[in-house]
Chain A
Amino acid sequence: NAGVTQTPKFRVLKTGQSMTLLCAQDMNHEYMYWYRQDPGMGLRLIHYSVGEGTTAKGEVPDGYNVSRLKKQNFLLGLESAAPSQTSVYFCASSDPGPENAQYFGPGTRLTVL
């Protein structure tokens, strides 16, 4: 059981480049989430998904797009990267309902120059 995995672990982009972050979970969870964490700050929700084929905006969705084509995968895309998107990105998954914990991946450290 790998839990939640994220690819890649590190990435450096130039302003204007695009990339996709991949999150995979093997716990058969319905819900998946993308968060970002900036230095000295708590996590902020970017987008989330309550099931295959569905996505919804979180607290800071601008500049990002997501897709959930398969239940076990949740992709986060940056179409035109900006320095303000330099951050650590965490993916999480859970079963529905507030009584079920979210489990997080190890993170992707992204730097945009």
Chain B
Amino acid sequence: DAKTTQPPSMDCAEGRAANLPCNHSTISGNEYVYWYRQIHSQGPQYIIHGLKNNETNEMASLIITEDRKSSTLILPHATLRDTAVYYCIVRVSGYSTLTFGKGTMLLVSP
């Protein structure tokens, strides 16, 4: 699986957009980009995933660069409940397990 690089921590003001970057420069053409988050002591929560195209759902948007070497998770209007560790994960085709790194600790402040 391709490795990912994320900043260890980020801050965001409540109500503003949170943009979480992820670098995956060694990604292969058949590997998906996944985002999960983990609120303290809870199970990881699936957010969104994509292969090549940008994706949007009720929680977030995922922007993948054209060369697929990086991506950005966007929480359009962050709330205090979005404070969590966010994991960017690359999944290789044909092998379904997830490899979690250390993620980005997002702190949303009033």
**A contact set with B: CB distance below 8 Å:** 4, 31, 33, 35, 41-45, 48, 50, 58, 88, 90, 92, 94, 96-107, 109
Contacts and interface: CB of A to CB of B under 8 A. Distances in A.
B44 A104 contact: yes
A46 to B, nearest CB: 11
B74 interface: no
Contacts of A104: 43-46
Interface of B: 31-32, 34, 41-46, 49, 51, 87, 91-103
A43 B100 contact: yes
Nearest to A94: B96
Contacts of B98: 33, 43, 45, 92, 102
A107 B42 contact: yes
A104 B100 CA distance: 13
Most chain-B CB neighbours within 10 Å: which of A44, A45, A94, A98?
A: A98
B91 to A, nearest CB: 4
Contacts of A107: 41-43
A101 B49 contact: yes
A106 B103 contact: no
A62 B102 CA distance: 23
Contact of A33 (B87, B91, B97, B103): B97
A98 B44 contact: no
Contact of A106 (B34, B43, B91): B43
